[in-house]
C-alpha cells in the first residue's frame, strides 16, 4: 500500500473531494435553506472568510497526493461565486484531477456554461425537484419556474457539459407526486435522473423520518409504469444505485442514505466555503484548514494533518441514525454542499 494514500479506520480510501465555494444561494429550498431560517437578516460569510482561489487550488493539489481524483464544486449555489471559471481553470490544470464537476440549480448556466466548459469543467449535475411549476416553486421558494432550470440544462449540453445528471430530492407531502412525471420527462433523453431520499443534513430543515419517501417506495412508484433492472456501479464508492429501463430508454438512479446506508463504501471528504474539512455529510464539527493555509504551514505539514484526520475517520452516521442523532448540531448543507 502506498503510504501516501491513507485508509481510514474502516479501510476506506480518499477518492472524492467536494468543495463549497460559497454559502450563498439564489434559492431557498425547503430541505436545505428554508426561508424561515435563511431570511433577509441571515448573516452569510464575509468574503474575507471564504477560501480564495489560490487557497483552494493549493488544497486540491495536496488532496490529489492523498488519492483524490474526483473534485466537485458545490455551494450554496456555486455559480453566484464571482469569476468561478478562473477557479475551474486552475483546478483543471492539476494533473491528478481526472473528473472535475459542479452541482448547481442551473438558473445561471445560460450565462456561464460556455466559459465553464472552456475553462475545463467536465460535467454538471443540476437540481430539479419537480417538472411542474407549482410544485417546483413551492420547493425552491424563490418563484423560479421549471423553464429557468431547463434553459440552464440546455445551455450546459450545448457547451458540452454532459451527460447531464439531475437530482430530485423527494419529500413526502411536497413532491412525491412528481416522481412519475419526472421519470416520464427524462426517459430516453440521455439525461440521468437520480431520486434522493430527504436527509437530515444540518439542523434547520425540520427533518422528520415520516417525510422520507424511501428507495423502495420510489422504485415501486416507477415500477408501476415502467420495467427496470439494476445496473452495476460505475466505480467503487458510488452513492447512487443505478437502474436501467428494460425497454432501453436509458437509466435512472436512487440515492438512499436513509433507508440503505452506504457509509461502508464512502470515499468522500468535504471542504466548506470557509475552509473547514468535514469527513461526513452529517458531521458536527470540522477541521480548520484555512488556519493552516493562512498561518504559513508548509505543504508537508498540511499533508501530515490531512493524513492524520483521514486515518482517524470513523464516520458512519447513516448506519447509526436515530431519534437522538437527528437533533445533533450538524453542519448545514449550504456550507458543505450535498
pLDDT, tens only, 244-289: 999 999 999 999 988 888 888 999 999 999 999 999 888 878 999 9
Q: Is the previous residue joined to 163 through a cis bond, with omega within 30 degrees of 0?
A: yes
User: What pLDDT, on the 0 to 100 scale, is given for residue 48?
Assistant: 96
Residue 15 — φ and ψ, nearest 5°? Answer: -135, -35
Report whether 15 contacts 267 (CB < 8 A).
Answer: yes
User: What pLDDT, on the 0 to 100 scale, is given for residue 338?
Assistant: 64
**CA 219/CA 261 separation, integer angstroms:** 16
Residues forming beta bridges with residue 231, ordered by sequence position:
242
Q: pLDDT band at residue 209, thresholds of 50, 70 and 90?
A: confident
**CA 274/CA 319 separation, integer angstroms:** 28
User: What pLDDT, on the 0 to 100 scale, is given for residue 65?
Assistant: 97
Q: Where are the alpha helices (DSSP H) in the chain?
A: 53-65, 84-92, 109-119, 133-140, 146-158, 179-186, 215-223, 289-294, 299-311, 317-320, 323-326, 333-336
Give the other-Cβ count within 10 Å of 143's Cβ: 8
| 45-53 mean pLDDT | 96
The tens digit of pLDDT for each residue in 317-331 reads 777 777 667 767 767
**Quick check: 233 pLDDT over 90?**
no
**Quick check: 221 pLDDT over 70?**
yes
Q: pLDDT band at residue 1, thresholds of 50, 70 and 90?
A: very low
Tell me what the pLDDT averaged over the chain comes to: 93
Percent of the chain with pLDDT over 70: 95
**Quick check: 2 pLDDT over 70?**
no
CATH topology of domain 16-336: TIM Barrel (3.20.20)
| 30-52 mean pLDDT | 92
User: What pLDDT, on the 0 to 100 scale, is given for residue 262?
Assistant: 82
Q: pLDDT band at residue 85, thresholds of 50, 70 and 90?
A: very high
**CA 79/CA 81 separation, integer angstroms:** 5
| 9-26 mean pLDDT | 96
Ranges 55-69, 91-105, 149-163, 226-240: which has the least confidence: 226-240
| 176-191 mean pLDDT | 98
The tens digit of pLDDT for each residue in 239-250 reads 899 999 999 999
Percent of the chain with pLDDT over 90: 79
Sequence spans of domains, the chain: 16-336
**Gyration radius from the chain CA atoms:** 19
Closest listed residue to residue 320, CA positions, set 333, 330, 308, 310: 330
More confident residue, 138 or 325: 138
Residue 308 — φ and ψ, nearest 5°? Answer: -60, -45
The tens digit of pLDDT for each residue in 294-313 reads 999 999 999 999 999 999 99
Block residue for cell numbers 493562512: 294
Amino acid at each position: 500500500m502506498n503510504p501516501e494514500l491513507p485508509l481510514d479506520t474502516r479501510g476506506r480510501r480518499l477518492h472524492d473531494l467536494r468543495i463549497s465555494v460559497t454559502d450563498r444561494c439564489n434559492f431557498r429550498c425547503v430541505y436545505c435553506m428554508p426561508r424561515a431560517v435563511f431570511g433577509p437578516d441571515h448573516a452569510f460569510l464575509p468574503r474575507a472568510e471564504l477560501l480564495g482561489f489560490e487557497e483552494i487550488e493549493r488544497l486540491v493539489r495536496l488532496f490529489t497526493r492523498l488519492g483524490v481524483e474526483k473534485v466537485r464544486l458545490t455551494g450554496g449555489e456555486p455559480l453566484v461565486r464571482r469569476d468561478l471559471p478562473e477557479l475551474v481553470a486552475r483546478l483543471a490544470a492539476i494533473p491528478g484531477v481526472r473528473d472535475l464537476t459542479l452541482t448547481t440549480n442551473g438558473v445561471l448556466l445560460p450565462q456561464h456554461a460556455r466559459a465553464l466548459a472552456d475553462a475545463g469543467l467536465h460535467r454538471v449535475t443540476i437540481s430539479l425537484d419537480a417538472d411542474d411549476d407549482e410544485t417546483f416553486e413551492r420547493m425552491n421558494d424563490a418563484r423560479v419556474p421549471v423553464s429557468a432550470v431547463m434553459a440552464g440544462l440546455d445551455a450546459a449540453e450545448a457547451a458540452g457539459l454532459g451527460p447531464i445528471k439531475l437530482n430530485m430530492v423527494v419529500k413526502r407531502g411536497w413532491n412525491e407526486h412528481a416522481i412519475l412525471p419526472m421519470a416520464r420527462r427524462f426517459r430516453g433523453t440521455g439525461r440521468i435522473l437520480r431520486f434522493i431520499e430527504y436527509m437530515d443534513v444540518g439542523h434547520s430543515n425540520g427533518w422528520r423520518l415520516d417525510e422520507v419517501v424511501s428507495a423502495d417506495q420510489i422504485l415501486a412508484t416507477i415500477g408501476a409504469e415502467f420495467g427496470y433492472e439494476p445496473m452495476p456501479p460505475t466505480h467503487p464508492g458510488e452513492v447512487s444505485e443505478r437502474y436501467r429501463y428494460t425497454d432501453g430508454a436509458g437509466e435512472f438512479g436512487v440515492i438512499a442514505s436513509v433507508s440503505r446506508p452506504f457509509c461502508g463504501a464512502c470515499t468522500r471528504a468535504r471542504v466548506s466555503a470557509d475552509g473547514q474539512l468535514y469527513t461526513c455529510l452529517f458531521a458536527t464539527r470540522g477541521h480548520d484548514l484555512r488556519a493552516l493555509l493562512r498561518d504559513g504551514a508548509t505543504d508537508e505539514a498540511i499533508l501530515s494533518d490531512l493524513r492524520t484526520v483521514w486515518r482517524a475517520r470513523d464516520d458512519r452516521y447513516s448506519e447509526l441514525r436515530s431519534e437522538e442523532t437527528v437533533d445533533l448540531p450538524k453542519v448545514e448543507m449550504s456550507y458543505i454542499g450535498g
